[in-house]
Amino acid sequence: MNIGEAARRSGVSAKMIRHYEAQGLITPGLRSEAGYRLFSASDVDTLRFIRQSRLMGFSLPQVSDLLSLWRNPGRSSQEVKRLASAHVAELDARIRELTAMRDALAGLARSCHGDARPDCPILSGLADGVVRDSGPCATRKET
């Protein structure tokens, strides 16, 4: 099938299929005489697996590891569980960080009158580094 059909069947856009090919997550599709990519049902299954993994928040390197395990019938489920458990811990940490960020911003928003006055506790708090210097947000590094 062509890339459009593979995209429709897998729920992965043609652009992302090309990206996953470039990242080595799927093998480059065979080419028709006209140079169009051709995909098999197995490729679609792999694309669905990648899509589900990405929906769970796994990074591309983690998806690569999961694909290797999925493709290996002799794998140990212990390694799969280890990867999943580590990802759960990462998600928990992100949830804590996002909750702290939300709480800090909500506090600033509550302190703002939101009227015609020019003074703004939200802008002052951001400028003074109040939010960044306290709580779990302080551990977040600027990139």
Residue 35 clears pLDDT 50, i.e. is over it:
yes
CATH, domain 3-71, list 3.40.50.1000, 1.10.10.10, 1.10.1660.10, 2.60.40.10:
1.10.1660.10
| Per-domain residue ranges of the chain | 3-71, 84-139
Q: Report the alpha-carbon distance of residue 133 to residue 128 in Å, rounded.
A: 9
Question: Which secondary-structure segment (H or E) carries 110?
Answer: helix 77-111
**Residue-wise pLDDT tens digits, 65-93:** 999 999 999 999 999 999 999 999 999 99
Instruction: Check residue 130 and give its pLDDT.
Output: 64
Q: Report the alpha-carbon distance of residue 115 to residue 131 in Å, rounded.
A: 22
Residue 98 clears pLDDT 50, i.e. is over it:
yes
Q: Report the alpha-carbon distance of residue 24 to residue 27 in Å, rounded.
A: 6
Q: What's the rounded mean pLDDT across residues 21-41?
A: 89
* Residue 43, both tokens: 């490729």
As a whole number, the mean pLDDT across the chain is 89
**More confidently predicted of 33 and 131:** 33
Q: Are 111 and 121 in contact (CB under 8 A)?
A: yes
CA atoms within 13 A on the CB side of 2: 6
